[in-house]
Amino acid sequence: MMAQYPNLAGQNQSYLIKQLENFHTGARTNQIMQAMVATIPPANFAADVKDLAYYFSQQKLNPKINANATDPKTTLKVLTLGEHIFRSGIPASGVPACMACHEADGMGNGPMAIPRLAGQHELYVFTQLEQFSDGQRSNDPHSMMRMIASKLTKNQMTAVAFYVQSLNPGLVLGDGPKNYEQMKTQRSQTPLIGVPADQVASKNAKPTPAKTPQL
């Protein structure tokens, strides 16, 4: 599994249906995905898309894939910043908490077609945030993601991407199974609520996005 491709296992069916329909209509653009969707027979399009989305939604998310692929350069500060933004947002910049829509465990909201982020690949998440920020991706309802992403720095995008990759919905509140003993100790000693995000520095380098099929 390559990190620039989205992890579709356990993704919400309604979200997948929306993305496939958007690729079909051109509301979301990606040459590879649009070419793939174009091969679906028009007469069976709705039924086939529903079946495809259902299939992927029923696959079990394997948190070990990301749990065992921790980038050694991912520092505690990066993960802490990502957690802060995910759970508390950045009020000073008008950025709401990610979990307000994507839920505390990162599993999203099926009826609202809001995607699961838990266990999603860091590079893919970063790329989508960047594309929302610069307008390359614009199929978000009410421009919500474009508004949010445009207020994030590259380091903040990176931090959020690494944090959601670590989320394991099988554990309490989705806290990931990587080497988090140090992070848990840090959280117990220094509560994140009320700590300005700009006071938690991230020095992680920006990932290099790849041109790949995306859902």
Q: State pLDDT tens for residues 30-39.
A: 999 999 999 9
- Check residue 195 and give its pLDDT: 37
Beta strands in 12-155 (DSSP E): none
Residue 99 C-beta-side C-alpha neighbours within 13 Å: 20
**Are 162 and 77 contained in the same domain?**
yes
Tokens of 190: 């220094």
**Are 45 and 71 contained in the same domain?**
no
pTM value?
Answer: 0.79
Asked if 133 contacts 146 with a C-beta cutoff of 8 angstroms, the reply is yes
**Mean pLDDT across 123-141:** 97
| Of 23, 19, 60, 5, residue with least CA distance to 214 | 5
**Are 105 and 19 contained in the same domain?**
no
Structural domain total, the chain: 2
Q: What is the mean pLDDT of the chain?
A: 83
Find the helix or strand (DSSP H, E) in which 31 lies: helix 31-37
pLDDT at 73 over 70: no
Domain span at residue 38?
7-60
CA angle centred on 207, ends 202 and 213, rounded to 5°:
140
**Are 109 and 145 contained in the same domain?**
yes
